[in-house]
Chain A
Amino acid sequence: MNFLENLPLAAKKLILDAVEWVCNWLCAKTGIKLPDWAMPALLTLVSILIVIVTIIAVFMVMFALMSVFERKILARMQNRYGPNRVGFFRWRLCGLFQPVADGIKMLTKEDIVPRGADKIVHFLAPIAMVAPALVLPVILPYGRGMVPIELSTGILFFFAMGAGTELAVFMAGWSSNNKYSVMGAMRAIAQMISYELPLVMSAVVVALVAGTLSPNGIVEAQAGYSFGIIPKWFVLTPWGFVACLLFYIGALAESNRCPFDLPEGESELVAGHLTEYSGFKYAIFFMAEYVGMFAINGLLVTLFLGGYQSPLPFLEWIPSWCWFFGKLACVAFSMVWVRATLPRFRIDQMMQFAWKFMLPMSFAALIAAATWYYAGRGPAAWGISALIVGVPYLVLGRLCFTRRHAADNRRYLYSE
């Protein structure tokens, strides 16, 4: 299966060779002599374009499919059918053309800008949201040797781009000239900033053990199998499990997904910071949220689930990029599952959870990881690190989230 494994890289090389051949042919035909720096520069430019087009195409298709599959899976979990009618040419196709219908609807809607809105900021907010979101997937290793851009500080780049999203949310809320939008934007930013800390701390935990900030290096640090059969992924260690869960919850909060979708829930301040956006701008926000979700899921897969590595030695014939996208699909499915199951958090519950539970747990995970790393990775190290994460988990769980039984203190004012 080596052919399948190298298919994307071979395709890229094919395109670059084709471009080079065409250029040489054109120069021979017209007699123009190119200077020395021209051909490498052109090939670099073409390879950048290939990367951009591939990422945008892949993520747009994933976004479209995700929007319909999310609705269908949510529906099945709620004992109903999802969209199952939109097909084309009389074939129902189980509703898989729904994104096309949604896209047409969004594009043909009137673009309403409120009269008192700040036009420039209102216009720039969707752009400021989607530009960082589209840049996020560029550092993820999709397969062996398939990193679009190899950055040695890739993880840091990821979080730096995520910071642009918060700015866009604020711009969207403030420019709508609607005090409820501003309130929604404030809450959204508070949520995103609060959950960014445990998110970054979980990534730091992984960087600590792997010794590098480069995503490729982190995936390589999870290579191999212990006892020949169990993969050495970080999620299968006690600190890694906790860090993965914290990262997952932080990812849910960063993408404003249920149960953290207070900013955009319909019963909360209409749509929060997105109230005054209609048509294509709303579609752009929607798209940015989904692409950001995929990117952060991809980072979760890279950091904790072993990236493009297969879980079992005898399954290594499946291409590495298949594994990556398969794991990404599983994490996305679990996000839809969580959305179907959990009700929405209140804003104070959300803040409490971030600051009083998740941040101390992330510190505990950090200490546990360091202990595990320096205590030689033997059974003692596993036991101690499990203890270091387990005890705060139970203690904090009891402290923060038990409801005191106030039945005896309750005053019923209006009962007979």
Chain B
Amino acid sequence: MKTYDRLNRIFILPVILSFVIAIPAFAQTASSDPVKTVYEEAKQDALGICPSIFLRDENGNIINPISGVNVDVPYSPKKTCGECHDYEKITKGYHFLQGKGEKMTKNFEQTYPWCTSPGQYGGRW
């Protein structure tokens, strides 16, 4: 039993210590992230237009035709613009979804049996 208690203390101690060390780190993360985000957004607003950027491919790798790195792949708007902008939020706009995922009303569904959405994607002319 004593051996078990000793072992227990040996394991618990580092765990507690690691938590103690980690708390300020978590606290810092929690308090610094919004500030960083706000600052980054403010910087983007101040610039007004995009700064110089690397083009990136679909895997997020840099395309650098000058140094000849990764030059045979097309660029990816998602990874390139998505470095700074919220691609997922932006593409929730109806220009991108074109009605995809939108529910049809019962009347719409009955009147247009061939439609799968009220929008251009699966909808009417």
Do A and B pair up? The answer is no
Residues of A that sit less than 8 Å from B by CB: none
